[in-house]
């Protein structure tokens, strides 16, 4: 008998060791089905576990790994049975097919019980919407909103409170009846300063809720119109709300880096460089893998030399007569540098457009420095003859000393850089002729004001 007891205790001990999560669900009226335990991630659902419903309606989600805490859905196929706040790893639930949500009972999980209590009370209040008039509905919505705020306040510090609070919009002070420009600016500043007030960025579990992804995408789109220095300040402020080494920190750093590594608006890549250097390359202990750190080091190294405002590096190239014709030897108010591949279709079309518009550019003091980025000299000379680019400065890397990829960030052809008189970079991407002309006008205006 003693040996049996010992063996039984060892069995229980082994169960606890190998079963890191065990969630039982009894559903009256359901059998021989498959249930899925899935959590939110941005706009998608990620399945974490599967359980078979037996003939008695019992399903057990169990495994040797802890489930990541978050906002979950218990689903059957494409049908959403009920929502669940999952924080604890061992608890039980009961419900029935008559009403999966309102008949749900939970034992052994404080967070799941808290959330279910909120859902039941909110559903009861929402029942009054049936048959209500428009004015009555508005009053009910106000009551529901107030109830949610009070529930959040009452249970501050819980994961359930963090989730419910995230669903509450921030209160932005309204504009006066006759707003001034400063009033609008003040309202906008308030919005961006308090945008994350209702999201607990110190809670990693919030990453697995419906709120973070969409909110982050909207925010990044809005701030992308700000100047690079402002974006960097905002990025530091958001990241500063997250704990070091946390999943949320990695997520937010990754989203900002992804948004600004190839921005729609020139110059915003400075935000990527800052974030990559400070939080990825500079924080290897935060959990970034060596491959990610290496890639970001490479990206930053390539992008830095062609950041807007920097003086471009010299190009030691020769012309069609093998005469040394370096980039810094070009005397012009503005220089358009085009690094290209003679066999690239986009390069050929861009060249045709430049030839057609060159009179407008030339009138504004622009010279075109056509640098062949490949090593086939014969193809380069054929390109010059075929496309009649003699009015441009045609150059080739005869000495094989120019690293177009790493020193000028040439990842695709054509790579176009627009420079001022001092060879400072005004634009680091391909623009239309009208955009170059507008840029010249703006630069001339700046110079006049400076004088």
Predicted confidence at residue 18, as pLDDT, reads: 57
- pLDDT < 70 positions in the chain: 1-18
pLDDT digits (tens, 9 = 90+) for 277-289: 999 998 877 788 8
CATH class of 19-108: mainly beta
Predicted confidence at residue 168, as pLDDT, reads: 85
Please write down the long-range contacts of 124-128, taking CB distance under 8 Å and 24 or more positions apart.
none
CA-CA distances (angstroms) from residue 362 to 6, 391, 414, 423, 440?
A: 93, 10, 20, 17, 12
Rounded CA-CA distance 119/124 in Å is 9
Retrieve residue 73's tokens: 């859905």
- Tell me whether strands 70-76 and 33-41 are parallel, antiparallel or unpaired: antiparallel
- Given the structure tokens 């009179």, which residue do they identify? 359
Provide the H-helix boundaries in 134-180: 134-154, 159-166
Predicted confidence at residue 170, as pLDDT, reads: 86
Predicted confidence at residue 7, as pLDDT, reads: 40
Please answer whether residues 118 and 110 qualify as being in contact, where contact means their C-beta atoms are separated by less than 8 angstroms.
no
- Tell me whether strands 70-76 and 79-86 are parallel, antiparallel or unpaired: antiparallel
B/e letters for 383-408, b = 16+ CB within 10 Å, e = fewer, are bbeebebeebbbbbbeeeebebeebb
Predicted confidence at residue 398, as pLDDT, reads: 95
CATH class of 327-450: alpha beta
Spatial strand order of the sheet with 105-107 comes to: 58-63, 21-28, 90-96, 105-107
């Amino acid at each position: 008998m003693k040996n049996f007891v010992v063996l039984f205790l060892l069995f229980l001990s082994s169960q606890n060791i190998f079963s890191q999560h065990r969630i039982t669900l009894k559903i009256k009226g359901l059998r021989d089905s498959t249930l899925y335990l899935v959590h939110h991630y941005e706009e998608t659902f990620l399945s974490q576990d599967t359980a078979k419903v037996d003939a008695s309606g019992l399903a057990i989600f169990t495994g040797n790994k802890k489930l990541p805490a978050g906002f979950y859905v218990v689903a059957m196929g494409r049908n959403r049975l009920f929502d669940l706040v999952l924080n604890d790893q061992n608890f039980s639930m009961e419900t029935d097919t008559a009403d999966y949500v309102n008949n749900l009972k939970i034992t052994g999980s404080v967070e799941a019980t808290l959330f279910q209590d909120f859902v039941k009370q909110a559903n009861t209040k929402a029942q009054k919407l049936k048959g209500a008039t428009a004015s009555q509905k508005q009053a009910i919505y106000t009551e529901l909103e107030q109830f949610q705020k009070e529930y959040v306040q009452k249970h501050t510090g819980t994961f359930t409170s963090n989730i419910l609070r995230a669903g509450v919009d921030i209160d932005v002070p309204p504009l006066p009846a006759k707003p001034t420009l400063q009033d609008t600016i003040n309202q906008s500043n308030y919005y961006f300063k308090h945008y994350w007030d209702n999201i607990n960025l110190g809670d990693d579990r919030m990453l697995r809720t419906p709120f973070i992804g969409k909110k982050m995408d909207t925010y990044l789109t809005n701030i992308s119109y700000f100047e690079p220095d402002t974006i960097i300040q905002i990025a530091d402020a958001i990241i500063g709300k997250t704990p070091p080494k946390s999943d949320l920190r990695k997520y937010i750093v990754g989203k900002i880096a992804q948004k600004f590594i190839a921005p729609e608006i020139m110059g915003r890549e400075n935000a990527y460089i800052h974030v990559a250097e400070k939080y990825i390359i500079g924080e290897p202990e935060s959990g970034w893998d060596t491959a990610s750190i290496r890639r970001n080091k490479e990206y930053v190294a390539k992008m830095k030399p062609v950041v807007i405002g920097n003086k471009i590096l010299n190009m030691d190239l020769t012309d069609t007569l093998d005469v040394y014709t370096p980039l810094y030897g070009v005397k012009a108010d503005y220089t358009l540098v085009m690094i290209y591949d003679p066999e690239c279709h986009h390069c050929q079309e861009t060249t045709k457009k430049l030839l057609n518009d060159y009179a407008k550019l030339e009138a504004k003091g622009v010279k075109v420095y056509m640098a062949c980025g490949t090593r086939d000299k014969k193809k380069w000379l054929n390109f010059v003859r075929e496309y009649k680019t003699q009015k441009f400065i045609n150059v080739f890397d005869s000495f094989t000393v120019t690293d177009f990829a790493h020193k000028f960030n040439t990842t695709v052809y054509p790579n176009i850089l627009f420079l001022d008189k001092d060879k400072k970079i005004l634009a680091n991407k391909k623009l239309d002729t009208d955009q170059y002309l507008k840029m010249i006008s703006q630069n001339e205006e700046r110079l006049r004001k400076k004088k």
